[in-house]
A and B are shown apart, each in its own frame.
Chain A
C-alpha cells in the first residue's frame, strides 16, 4: 500500500515535544473528569453507547491508522462478539466480565480466520476481501440457531459484576462501561508504543523496506488484525450488555462503514481522534433517530466531504492548525 493515506497520521508519543506532552496530559485529565461527571448531565445509555463505539473506532484505527490496512469487515468482530457475549451471559449464565472476555476471545478467533485470508492481498483487495468475508459471516448469523435470526438475542441480563455489583443499576453500569473503555484505551496506547507497534508503523510507511529488514510482515499484520478484532469484540460485547440485545444490525456491512467514517472523521492515525469521530456520528444518529430523514444520506455526504476536504480528520486538523502547532503537536503534510 502506498503511504499517502497516512499523511494524516499524527506523530507518535516519542516524537512529541515537551509542550505537547503537557498539553496532552492536560487534555487527558480534563477528558477523564468530564467522563466521570458526564452521567449527571447526559442520558447514561447514550453515553455508554458512545463509549462502546469510541472503543470500537479506536480498535479499528489500530489497523487503519497504525498498520495501514483498511478493513471493510469490522462489523464481524463488533457484532460477532455481541452475539457471543449475549449468548454466554443469557444461556450459560456467565458473569458480565467473563461474558465480555468470551466475546473478545471469539472476535479474536474470527479475526485470526479473516486475517489469515485477507492478508494475502493488499490495499484495495484487502478491503474487498474483508467486506466479502464479513458478508459471509452476516449470512451465517442470519441462519445459525443461537443468533435467533431476524429476532436476535433479546433480554440479555446484565448480571452482577464480580458476583456482587448489580449492573442493572444504570450508574453502576456506566462506570463499568467507562472502566472497560479505559482498559481498552490503555491496551491500545501500550500496543502502539511497544516495539511491536513500531514495527507496524514501519510496515505502514514502507512495507518493502520492512521486509528487507527481515521482519515477517505477514505475521505482524495478522497480529495487528487479531488485536484490533479482539478490542472491537470487547466493545461489541459491552454494547450487547448495555442494550441487553444482540442483533443483525451490528454484523451488517453498514456497521463496518460507520466505523470507518468515525475514524476518518476524527482523524486516521491519531490516538484520540476516533473517540471524537464516534461521538459525532452517535450524536448525529441520536438526533436524527426521531426524524423521518434517513441517516444514510447524511453519512454518505459526510463521507464524501471528509475524503474531499479534510482527510486529516478533526483531531488531525487540530494538530496541523496554528494552535495545535503552537502547543507543539507535530503533524505531517
Chain B
C-alpha cells in the first residue's frame, strides 16, 4: 500500500477530502460574513442559524411538499434570503447608527431565538437527509474511492464562491456595492438606493449561508445545533483571513479546512482546536489577518 508520511495514502486522502469539504463550508460562510460586514458593518452572528435554516427548509420541503434536492438548492436560499431581508428591513436597519457591537448582540439574540425554536420543535438530535439519487455512490479514482456527493459539494461550493466573487468584482451591481462600502453617503447622492442595497446584501449573505446549509444537509445530519457548532470556527477563520477581501475569505476558508483535515491524520486529539491555534499564531505574527487591511 502506498504510504505518505507514514500514513496509508487511502486514509490521508480521505481526511484531506473531509478537510476540503469542511473548508468549502468555511469558505461559503466566511464569504457571506465578509460580504455582510463589508457593507453593513455588522458581524452576522445569525449566520450559523441561517445555515441551519437552509438545511431545515430543504428537509421540510421534502417532507411536506415532496420538493426534491435540486429545487431545494434554489428555493431554500431564496426563502432564507427573504427572511433575512425582512429582518434587516424591520429590525437590523435600526442599529446602523450605533456601535457595531449592537449589531453583533442583536444577531446573537436572533441566532439564539431561531436555534431555540427549532430545538423546541424538532429536538436536539440530528435527522438524516438523503442525497439525490444522481449523486449517490462513489467513483474509484485509482488511489481512493470518492463518494460522488462529496465531490459535488467541493465543486459546487467552489463555483458559488467564484460566482459571488465575480458578482462583486465584475458586475455593475457589485461596483455599486463596493462604492457603497467606501462611501455610502456619496453613492446615495449619486441616486443609488443605498438602503435597498443594504437589504439585498444581507439577503445575499443569508442566502449563501442557507445554500451552504442545503449542501451540508446530506453530509452532516440536519440538526438545530449544526449552526452554532460551525459559526465559532468560522469566526476564527474570519479573524485569520481578515474581512478586507472577498478572495481572502474564500482562500482562508479552504486553507483552514484542509489544515483541520490534515491534523486529523497526524494528531487527531488537536483537530478540534487546530483552527483556533492557527488563529492565535496569526494574531502574533500578523494582527490584521492574512488578507486584512483594517485592524
Contact = CB atoms under 8 A, between A and B. Distances in A.
Contacts of B105: 260, 264, 303, 307
Nearest to A142: B272
Nearest to B95: A307
**Contact size class for A?**
35 or more
Given A128-B239, A140-B273, A253 B228 contact: yes
Nearest to A136: B276
A171 interface: no
Interface string B250-284: 00000000000000000001001101110110011
A296 B115 contact: yes
Contacts of A70: 101, 104
A136 B273 contact: yes
B276 A128 contact: no
A5 B99 CA distance: 6
Interface in B206-240: 228, 232-233, 235-236, 238-239
Interface string B108-146: 111111111101100000000000000000000000000
Contacts of B1: none
B276 A133 contact: yes
Given A4-B98, A5-B98, A136-B277, A124 B43 contact: yes
Interface secondary structure of A, over-half rule: helix
A301 interface: yes
B174 interface: no
**Contact size class for B?**
35 or more
B264 to A, nearest CB: 14
Nearest to A132: B236
A311 interface: yes
A298 B112 CA distance: 9
Interface stretch (A82-90, A114-122, A315-323): A114-122
A185 to B, nearest CB: 25
Contacts of B43: 124, 127-128
Nearest to B98: A4
Contacts of A136: 273, 276-277
B101 A131 contact: no
A312 to B, nearest CB: 12
A139 B98 contact: no
A294 interface: yes
Interface in A80-101: none
Contacts of A253: 228, 232
Nearest to A257: B108
A293 interface: yes
Given A139-B273, A294-B119, A300 B99 contact: no
B111 A124 contact: no
Interface string B79-108: 000000000000100110111111011101
Contacts of B275: 132
B279 A132 contact: yes
Contacts of A125: 239, 295
B112 to A, nearest CB: 3
Given A5-B98, A308-B91, A300 B116 contact: yes
Contacts of A295: 116
15 contacts: A1-B99, A117-B283, A117-B284, A121-B295, A128-B235, A140-B273, A143-B272, A253-B228, A260-B108, A295-B116, A300-B114, A300-B115, A303-B108, A304-B109, A311-B98
Given A121-B287, A135-B276, A296-B112, 6 more contacts: A4-B98, A5-B98, A121-B283, A296-B116, A296-B119, A299-B109
